[in-house]
Amino acid sequence: MSCPHCGFAVEDADRMFGAGEVAIDCLEDTAGLLRRSERDRVACLIEEFREVFPQLFFAVYTGAFRELTSLRQFGFWLLNRAAFRDVPIDRPNEAGLLLVIDPESKAASLTFGYLLDPFLDEDDTFRCLSKAHPYLLGGDYCRGIEMVGRVLSRLLRKRCRQARRDPERFERRCAPPPPVGDLVRRIRDGHRVRGGGEEVRA
């Protein structure tokens, strides 16, 4: 599996970041950028996105990547390797959108799964990040994330309307998504039992 935009392969990413699946939630603020009230706002945004687009999911990951040369490559790897514990098992990662933020390098990346290829392109993700850039640069990460989510939602609604008018234009030319791996399935199922792109720099 490789990125259709740059040709970067999962195997290449595995050598850089590891080959095992990673269990995370759709909001992973490992950099500690969000206050509790802001985490609640972002969690609401993620849930609203799922309700509007029940086939998809939106996720946010923050971290400090001192040795990382490409946040985009990390986002591609994480979207392919992550087992999102709070995503239904029947919703594959290929239907996900992942925003990665690195406050130290003042960079952000937005990656989307290949099932969204007919509906989004790099210009779209760049537009989302550009709208959020002033907030992210100023340290208002919550509003920056909300801006990405709002612009994404507007774009996807627009593409849905266009697809209804001209379905052939948006017809998928990709093979069906691979089945969810056993480890991913176990992680997600276990969580329920317990109760449970593009890159810009400043």
- For the chain, give the mean pLDDT: 81
Contacts of residue 150, defined as CB under 8 A and 6 or more positions apart, other chains included, come to none
Residue environment code for 75-95, b if the CB has 16+ CB neighbours within 10 A, otherwise e: bbbbbbbbbbbbbeeebbbbb
Q: Does this model's pTM top 0.95?
A: no
Q: Which of 145, 131, 137 is nearest to 103 (CA)?
A: 137
Tens digit of pLDDT for each residue in 34-88? 999 999 999 999 999 999 999 999 999 999 877 666 788 889 889 988 899 999 8
Q: Which domains does the chain have, with CATH numbers?
A: 10-181 (3.10.310.50)
Give yes or no for residue 29 having a pLDDT over 90: yes
In this predicted structure, the answer to whether residue 193 has a pLDDT above a threshold of 80 is no
Could you give the CA distance from residue 84 to residue 191 in angstroms, rounded to a whole number?
A: 10
